[in-house]
Structure 1
Amino acid sequence: MGAAASRFPPNSRYHGIATATLTLPDGRQVAYLRRRFVPQPETLALLYTVRVAEGDRLDNMAATHLGDPELFWRIGDANAAVRPDELTEEVGRELRITLPEGIPGIENG
C-alpha cells in the first residue's frame, strides 16, 4: 500500500483517500490516488433544500450553505451530479444540502 492521503486538506474530496504505487515494466514506481467512490445521495443526511436563483454559482452556494466555496463538490455529491456545473443551469431547480458522508442526521418524527 501507499502513503496516507494526508496531503489533501480536510475540505478536499480526496481527503482520506489512500494512495498506491504501481511498478512499471521498466522498474519505475508511480504513485497514484486510489479511486474515490461517490456516495449515493440518499445516504447523505439532508439539512435542507434550496432553489437555484438567476446567476447562482456552485462555489458561491457552497460558501453560503456549507461555509466554504471549495466544498462545492459536496453539493454535487448530494445531487448525483456527473457534471456539477450543470446543477445551476436551471433557475428554480431544487438542490439538496446535506451533511458530509458518514455524519448522521436527526430523524424526523
Structure 2
Amino acid sequence: MAEPQPYESALDAIPGAHPYPRSSRYHDAEVGIHTQPDGTAVRYVKRRLLPPLGEADEDIATHTVSSGERPDHLGQRCFGDPAAWWRIADANPVLDPRELTAEPGEEIALPDGFPGGGGRFGR
C-alpha cells in the first residue's frame, strides 16, 4: 500500500474535505445526494460492497485466536490502529465483529490485499 502524500493527510484535518477520515471503512465509499420533496439535499453514503471471500487467497494470512483477544487488539497488532478491526471483519464471514474472537483456538483470516489493507500480523 502506498504511503499517503503529505497533502492527503492534511486534507483529513480540514472539516468537510472528506466525509470520513482515511482510516474509516467508509472513506472510499461513494457519497450520494437525495433531494427531499421540499428541495433539501441530504448527503448519504452509498452501500459499501465487500470483495468476494476467497478471491484474494494468496494475500490472506491466518491467525489462531487466543483467549482474551478482541477485534480492536487485532487491529492494533496487524495494522497499528485499533480502529482498523473492520479490515479483519471484512475478510471473515461474520455478521458481528465480536464473533472474530469469540472462540479461542479458531483460525481467522487477516487481510493484506483487501482495500485499505497492507499489514501482516506480527510485522
Tell me whether the two structures share a fold, i.e. TM-score over 0.5.
Answer: yes
Aligned equivalent of 1:25, options 37, 40, 44: 37
**Maintained 8 Å contact 1:40/1:80:** no
CA shift digits 1:18-62 (9 cap, x unpaired): 21111112222111111101222212421x211111111000011
SS at match of 1:49: strand
Which residues of structure 2 form unaligned runs of 5+?
A: 1-16, 119-123
User: 2:85 corresponds to which residue?
Assistant: 72
Give the TM-score normalised by structure 2: 0.72
User: 1:59 corresponds to which residue?
Assistant: 72
Q: Which amino acid aligns with 2:45?
A: L
Give the TM-score normalised by structure 1: 0.80
- Which runs of 4 or more aligned residues in structure 1 lie more than 3 Å from their structure 2 counterparts after TM superposition? none
Does residue 105 of structure 2 align to residue 95 of structure 1?
Answer: no
Offset of residue 100 of structure 1 = 4.1
Offset of residue 10 of structure 1 = 1.9
User: 1:12 corresponds to which residue?
Assistant: 24
Q: For 1:40 and 1:84, how far apart are their aligned partners in 2?
A: 18
> How many pairs align?
100
